[in-house]
Amino acid sequence: MRESIFETLIGLVVVSVAGVFLWFALAEGGDGNGSSDNYAVTARFNNVSGVARGSDVRLAGVKVGVVQAIEADYERAEAVLTLTVDEALELADDTSARISTDGLLGGAYVSLEQGGGFDVIPRDGSGEIAYTRGSVDILTLFASFASGAGGDGDEE
């Protein structure tokens, strides 16, 4: 009887701790969709390999937002990313975005490079980052160097 009560108490403690972790994950782990301290901008890329919904958006290496949605624009043959960025960040109209990775095995993220313009991208959801650079396929890059296609043209 005594072991049964002890096992029941340990089980209740384990379930309680798991419940606290679940509550924390649901409360803090959102993607910022309903948050009022973020705003959405779009960016068009020719290649977004490695980027997924929830990927980081970084400025100078600091996370300032997340990728909210990825869609295809069939008419222009481009990928359209909807990014939510921190409300405190004012993006100049000549800000550029590129797809970067955390090393060879790291995940992909969107890197923002602030421009020097005086006008800012609208925060009403209609703003778009005009200057973008897509991701580079590292395997294709290595294959081009291995085959000699990456040379400088001074071959004899």
Q: What is the pLDDT of residues 66-118, one digit of tens each?
A: 888 889 888 988 888 888 888 888 887 888 888 888 776 778 888 888 877 77
Token pair of 147 as six digits: 């085959």
pLDDT, greater one: 57 or 150: 57
Q: Structural domain boundaries of the chain?
A: 1-30, 38-143
Contacts of 92 (CB under 8 A, 6+ apart): 114, 115, 116, 117, 118, 119, 120, 121
Report whether pLDDT(29) > 70: no
What is the rounded distance in angstroms from the CA atom of residue 156 to the CA atom of residue 150? 15
Report whether pLDDT(21) > 90: no
| Contact (CB, 8 A) for 52 and 101 | no
Q: Which of helix, strand or coil describes residue 15?
A: helix
What is the rounded distance in angstroms from the CA atom of residue 51 to the CA atom of residue 57? 10
> What pLDDT does residue 134 have?
74
∠ CA 136-140-146, nearest 5°, is: 130
Token pair of 11 as six digits: 């089980």
